[in-house]
Amino acid sequence: MDERDAVRQVTAESGRGGTGVPSRRGRRVAGRCGLLLAAATLTVASCQSGGSTSTAGGRSGAPTSAASLSAPSPSPTEATLNAEDYVLTEGPLTAGFTASPADPQSNSDDISMVEVARCLGVPAEQLDDEDQDSADGPDFTNDADSLISISSSAQIVSAEKAATDLQILTNPRFGECFGQALQAEFDASASSGTTVEIVAAETPPPPAGAQGLLRISMGVTAGGETVGLVLDNLFFIKGRVEVSVNYSNVDNLPSQEHLQRIADQISGKLQIQ
């Protein structure tokens, strides 16, 4: 596996997000990830077959989880919402990208939320990973460079969970703790000749309409060559909907204008609940 294959593997499994607090159920990160945005997370996997890890965080972020068959139904006073209505969809902002259906087989184990909770001083038993509905949006791949991609995930949760997730998302140490847990997962699942090193986990001001932005910069080394990978995770929480959008780039950062256009589409959809 050369360095571009290694980056593609990491990207393909670390660009799916959600919102909300970290969830112990797994959805891919980039390949399918979620935050808690309250679960939004960005999941990154190593080149090792089947070895994936999810991350999401910063002022927002945590892995998203697949819907549970036993997930609670909304109360009679709550309107029925569909997670599919809130994911990123094609439009002018995806010009230059080709859309493909989300991979239904992209489940993976989340990073240890127990470790993140311990780092933040939050009792593990307080973490709620239940959702009423969840959905992954299309995977958008850049036409000029297949290593550049955008993906999204959405969850319908209770008002109580959304409030709790927002508190965790805005914890000033969330990015630090999530980054530490993610690096530990990379180290534990590293395959021979391939390493992933997180260089920085930053939380720059998010674009208007988003509740958080987590930017993870890392180096992926394979075959003696190292490629820089930047993973931007946008997190949204409004009402009972949590959404995360994951934007992976090689070496460069996505433009602030493009991030704002993404935020405008998602925040506009969130107004309808």
Radius of gyration of the chain (CA): 16
pLDDT band for position 74 (cuts 50, 70, 90)? low
pTM beyond 0.85, yes or no: no
* More confidently predicted of 122 and 101: 101
pLDDT, one tens digit per residue, over 151-191 is: 999 999 998 888 878 887 888 998 898 888 888 888 887 77
Provide the pLDDT for residue 188: 84
pLDDT, one tens digit per residue, over 217-271 is: 999 888 888 888 998 999 999 999 999 999 999 877 888 999 999 999 999 999 9
Report whether 35 contacts 97 (CB < 8 A). Answer: no
Sign of the Cα torsion 20, 195, 105, 86 reads positive
The whole-angstrom separation of Cα 195 and Cα 55 is 17
pLDDT, one tens digit per residue, over 112-131 is: 666 777 888 877 677 767 78
163 Cβ contact partners less than 8 Å away, ≥ 6 residues apart? none
pLDDT, one tens digit per residue, over 1-42 is: 555 666 665 554 444 433 343 333 333 333 233 333 222 233
Q: Which two tokens stand for residue 263?
A: 């935020």
CA of residue 117 relative to chain centroid, distance: 17
Q: Tell me the CA distances in angstroms from 237 to 19, 140, 160, 271, one per residue in order.
A: 7, 22, 12, 11
For 248, what's the count of Cα atoms within 13 Å in the CB-facing half-sphere? 38
